[in-house]
Amino acid sequence: MKIAIFGAGQLAMMMIEESRRLGHEFVLIDPSSNPPASKFAKHIKTDFNDHETLEYIAKNYDVATIDFENVDISSLEFLESHINVYPPSSALAVCQDRLLEKNLFKELDIGVTKYGSVTNINDIDKFSEGRRSNYLIKSRRFGYDGKNQFKCNEDVSKIKNLLSNNECIIEEIVNFSTEVSLICVRQQDNKIFFYPLIENFHKNGILRYSLFPFLNKELQSTAERYARDLLNHFNYVGVLVIEFFINKDGNLIANEMAPRVHNSGHWSIEGSSMSQFEMHIRAITGTLNKLSDDFKPSLMINILSKCPDEKKLSLLDNHHFHNYGKEERSLRKLGHITLTKASVEDLI
Ligand code: AMP
């Protein structure tokens, strides 16, 4: 099939590499110069809403997907009237807005922290009942890797600045014991598959490492119930990832969802007989028949800011280094390392 991917970062790069043997033809739409995936497929360097490009995709490609969730909804809606767009623009519209996302979680009876919409400092004081240190303020849109979010007791000028440039939400800080994510996939014929949960460790809002699997039967089945409801709600096709906190009572609290393959699933290249990337491409082309349960305990470590010394790296046994070929920059995700072992205890 002919597949257009909006966004040409490392996620698109791994989708192309991991599905190479399936024989699809890819085109990438991305406004940046030399993004990671551009070494592996034709790259159209343009804005996501460039009409000429959208018409070209509509005429020449079978299906469109994304590696980046902030693609213009109007572009995807235009394409939806001509070709398959997976995931659907309706799912993207909700995932682009933290308020709509939390409202949907609530509507589907999925646990969420206390949250609300705020437009000024008075709203924050009212909502937090004066306990600002227990709350976070986040922009509704364009927040990722801890960007555009602060604790409500931080410098007032920072918060005022955020409020004056963005629509925002306030959320109660969850006193969590750990964080987990569920990777799931749905195909048009309503086949749905789930990986076991993954445990994730963040620092300053950025994922640092993921440990697979996080085995807990009860939480797994609750997470799968939540995911099934979300997938069916959108008539979703492709990979969807839900990130949860596990609070001190041992319950799942949904933080957010990503309508795409996800950083917490990179271990699956080595740790599963089918990676999340292949699974996504198979689901959007209607060729996903089963998800094998052949998994290896895995640890995925993000490489941020600076690439590791190759000599030191070679001392690690059984490791796989994935270099995204990006220029070094503070806190930029440059690559990841996956280690597989016989057990999670060995990995720790
Ligand atoms: P987000 O930008 O919402 O994906 O958040 C990134 C990370 O910040 C999460 O994975 C948590 O580690 C932390 N975080 C975000 N929101 C909350 C919250 N309400 N309570 C506790 N930690 C949070």
User: pLDDT per residue over 47-82, tens digit each?
Assistant: 999 999 999 999 999 999 999 999 999 999 999 999
Helices 121-128 and 156-165, interaxial angle, to 10°?
Answer: 110
Burial 205-222 (b: 16+ CB within 10 A, else e): eebebbbbbbebeebbeb
Rounded to an integer, the average pLDDT of 327-332 is: 94
pLDDT on residue 293: 77
Tokens at residue 189, please?
């014929």
Give the ligand 1 atom nearest the CA of 113: 19
Which residues have any ligand 1 atom within 6 Å of their CB? 113, 136, 143, 146, 149, 171, 173-174, 179, 202, 205, 255-256
Per-residue pLDDT tens digits for 79-132 = 999 999 999 999 999 999 999 999 999 999 999 999 999 999 999 999 999 899
Residue type at 66? I
pLDDT tens, position by position, 281-328: 999 999 999 877 799 999 999 999 999 988 888 888 889 999 999 999
Q: Whose CA is nearest to atom 9 of ligand 1?
A: 205
Mean of pLDDT values over 9-19:
98
- Look at ligand 1, atom 17, and give the residue with the nearest C-alpha: 173
- Per-residue model confidence as pLDDT tens digits over 235-259: 999 999 999 999 999 999 999 999 9
What average pLDDT does range 141-152 have in this prediction?
86
- Residue whose CA is at the smallest distance from ligand 1 atom 5: 205
Q: What mean pLDDT, rounded, does the chain reach?
A: 96
Contact 67, 87 (CB under 8 A): no
DSSP line for 47-116: -TT-HHHHHHHHHH-SEEEESSS-S-HHHHHHHHTTSEESS-HHHHHHHT-HHHHHHHHHHTT-----EE
